[in-house]
Amino acid sequence: QVQLVESGGGLVQPGGSLRLSCAASGTIFRIVSMGWYRQAPGKERDLVARIISSDNTNYADSVKGRFIISRDNAKNTVYLQMNSLKAEDTAVYYCNAYVRITPLSSSRDFWGQGTQVTVSS
């Protein structure tokens, strides 16, 4: 019903920046919230940042002050600006959207396939 397509991952040096994008498409009445999660090798998938509105966001402590999440509701797109990247940020980053499909339906979670971010010198 809903597809999420991520882009912007890649290889970057420590201290560098990357911007991730995720566009939602399909049968959508309203996207309640969007977010980014990441999973490093041997680790659980953890929340990086989530956004409901510009004044309602949540960040993991490890990225607070370095990453910025934003949302373009007209484009059904969420962005993650990642600055001052560290080796510890290396992970597969997954886009998430909490979506109300129709006015008669409850909201459901959807996930992208993930995009690799590697921070290395």
pLDDT in tens, 60-94: 999 999 999 999 999 999 999 999 999 999 999 99
Give the rounded distance of the alpha carbon of 105 from its chain centre: 24
Alpha-carbon distances of 4 from 15, 16, 20, 37, 87, rounded to whole Å = 28, 26, 13, 13, 26
- Are the CB atoms for 49 and 60 separated by under 8 Å? yes
User: In this predicted structure, what is the pLDDT of residue 44?
Assistant: 97
Q: Is residue 1 scored above 90 in pLDDT?
A: no
Phi first, then psi: what are they for 73, rounded to 5°? -65, -35
Handedness of CA 32, 94, 21, 111 (dihedral sign): negative
pLDDT above 90: percentage of residues in the chain: 93
CA distance 107 to 79: 21
How many other CB atoms are there within 10 angstroms of residue 63's CB atom? 23
Indicate the pLDDT class of residue 16, thresholds 50, 70 and 90. very high
| Pairing of β 10-12 and β 18-26 | unpaired
